[in-house]
Amino acid sequence: MQHSIKNNFPNFSSELVATIEENGTEQSFEAGTILMRTGQYIKNTVLILKGKIKIYREGEDGGEFLMYYLQPGQACAISMICTAKSEKSQIMAKVVEDVTVMMIPLQLMDKWMMEHRSWYEFVIETYRSRFEEVLEVVDNIAFRSMDERLEFYLKRHSDACGCAEVKLSHQEIATELNTSREVVSRLLKKMEQRGLVKLNRNQIELLK
Amino acid sequence: MQHSIKNNFPNFSSELVATIEENGTEQSFEAGTILMRTGQYIKNTVLILKGKIKIYREGEDGGEFLMYYLQPGQACAISMICTAKSEKSQIMAKVVEDVTVMMIPLQLMDKWMMEHRSWYEFVIETYRSRFEEVLEVVDNIAFRSMDERLEFYLKRHSDACGCAEVKLSHQEIATELNTSREVVSRLLKKMEQRGLVKLNRNQIELLK
DNA sequence: ATTCTTCTGTGATAAATGTTACTGTAGGTT
DNA sequence: AACCTACAGTAACATTTATCACAGAAGAAT
C-alpha cells in the first residue's frame, strides 16, 4: 500500500487511479538495470512507485553525464514527450535503487490527456519541472567551474535523499560530472580543508 | 498573407486558425527587443509568424549562452510549459531579426489543448523538439571541446539561414558560446588553415 | 594473517582555455 | 586626408582541467 499509485500521486483523481490500476502493468527492476537506451524506441510511460532511476546522457567514452534522478511520485518526461511519434529516446535510464514502476502504454497516456484533468496537469507539470532541471544543468556546465559544480552536485544528492551523507565513490561522482577521479579527489580535499565536508571511504558528509 | 497563421502553421485545423485569429493579438517587435527575462512571469504564449528570436540563458557576467532560435512556424516551449502556474521564466528571449508574432493568452492555450487536436499535437511536438534541442546543447558542452562546439555552432547557423555565410563577429560568437573572443579568433584561424572556412570581416564562409 | 581488490591521496606534467596587452586593418565619419 | 571605432590577429602568460604514475589505506576474501 505504501507504494500504491494513490499514495505516490496524491493529485490524481480517484477515477484516474482506478484507470491506471486497471490498464497499467506493475513491474520491478533491480539496481543496475538499464531501462532505456539512447536510440531505443519508447513504448511505455513509466510512473515510479518505489526506488530511484538515473536519467543521463551517455558520452562516447562511457561517461554517464547526470541529467536528473526520478523518484517515487515522478514520471519520465522523455517517455511522455516521445509519445505521439513513438520517437527514439535521446537519453539513458538506469535503475540505481531497486524500483517498482507502473508501465503505461503510450496510446493510453495520450488518450487520458483528454479525459482526465489531473493526468493532463501532471503531465504538463512533469514537462515543466524536467525542462527546468535540464536548464539548470546547462547553467552549471556553461557558467560554473568544476569546484562549484561539485558542490552543487553534492547538495542535490543530499537534498534528494534527505540526509547529509552522500554515499558515492569519487569515481562515480567523476563519471556523472564527466571529469576524472583525480580531479574529484583533489577538489573534495580542498572542500574538506575549507570545512565544508568530512570525507570517509565511500561516503561524503556535508557539514553545512 | 505570407506571414499568416495558415501559412506558417500548416497543420492547424481551419477552426483552430479561425480561433487563433479571433483571440490572438498580432504584434511586431524590432531586433534587439527583449521579449522575456529570467525571473519574469509569463502571460502569453508566442507563435512566430516572421523573423527570428533567440532563446538563451544569461550568465552573471552578461554571457548570452545560446539555447536555440525560434523561427516562423514555431512557438516558445518555455511559455507553454509555464502555463498552468504562470511560473517564472527561466530564460531570456531576444529578437534578433524583426519579428511578427501572435500572442495567445495562457488560459486559452490551456483550454485549446482539450478542444483542438491539432493544437494539442503542436504543443506536444514543440515540447519534444525543444527538449531534444536542449539535450543536444548539454551534449555539446558536457562532452565536446571548444573547437568542436564552434564547428557545430557554425553549422547550426548556416543550416538555419540556409546559406554558407555566417554573418557574425567573433565577439558575438564568443558571447553565445560563453568563451572569449581571442579563443574564437584562434580556433577560427585554425579552421581556416585546415581549409574548413574562409574568414572575412563580420562574415565566416563555410567551405564544406 | 595474508592476499586481493577497491578506493583514495598526491606529485609531475601536459593540454585546453582564459586573460592581458598590444598591433594592425577595414570601414565609416568629419 | 585625418580621425575614430569596431573588428581581427597574435604573443605571452595564468589558470583550470586532464592524464600519468605511483603509493598507501580500508575492507573483503581466503
Report if CB A188 to strand C is under 7 Å.
yes
Alpha carbons A182 and A20: distance in angstroms, whole number: 47
What are the C-alpha distances in Å from B186 to residues B75, B139, B148, B154, B183?
Answer: 36, 23, 13, 15, 5
Alpha carbons B110 and B86: distance in angstroms, whole number: 11
User: B5 with B78, same domain?
Assistant: yes
What's the CA–C1' distance between B196 and C20, in Å?
29
Cβ proximity of A103 and A75 under 8 Å = no
Domain for residue B173, yes or no? Answer: yes
What's the CA–C1' distance between A188 and C9, in Å?
11
Q: What is the pLDDT of residues B144-199, one digit of tens each?
A: 999 999 999 999 999 888 899 999 999 999 999 999 999 999 999 999 999 999 99
User: A107 with A191, same domain?
Assistant: no
> Is the entire prediction scored with pTM above 0.75?
yes
The stretches of chain A forming alpha helices (DSSP H) are: 5-8, 14-23, 77-81, 106-115, 117-143, 146-161, 170-177, 181-193
- Overall domain count for chain B: 2
User: A70 with A15, same domain?
Assistant: yes
User: A105 with A9, same domain?
Assistant: yes
Query: Where in the sequence is the domain holding B191, given as residue range(s)?
Result: 144-206
Q: How many CB atoms lie within 10 A of CB A59?
A: 15
Nearest nucleotide from residue A180 CA, by C1' atom? D18
Q: What is the pLDDT of residues A152-172, one digit of tens each?
A: 999 999 988 889 999 999 999
What's the CA–C1' distance between B174 and C28, in Å?
25
Which chain A residues touch B if contact means CB-CB below 8 Å? 57, 59-60, 63, 65, 67, 77-78, 81-85, 87, 90-91, 113-114, 120-121, 124-125, 127-128, 130-132, 134-139, 141-143, 178
Torsion of CA A106, A107, A110, A114, to 10 degrees: -150
Cβ <8 Å between A142 and B67: no
- Report residue A25 as a C-alpha cell: 502493468
Question: How near does any CA of chain A get to the CA of B152, in Å?
Answer: 16
Domain for residue B33, yes or no? Answer: yes
Report if CB B38 to strand D is under 7 Å.
no
Residues 6 or more apart from B140 whose CB is under 8 A from it?
Answer: B148, B149, B152
Cβ <8 Å between B127 and A127: yes
Domain for residue A157, yes or no? Answer: yes
Cβ proximity of A94 and A35 under 8 Å = yes
Q: What is the pLDDT of residues A45-86, one digit of tens each?
A: 999 999 999 999 998 888 899 999 999 999 998 887 765 565
In this structure, what CATH number is given to the domain that contains residue A158?
1.10.10.10
Residues 6 or more apart from A2 whose CB is under 8 A from it?
Answer: none
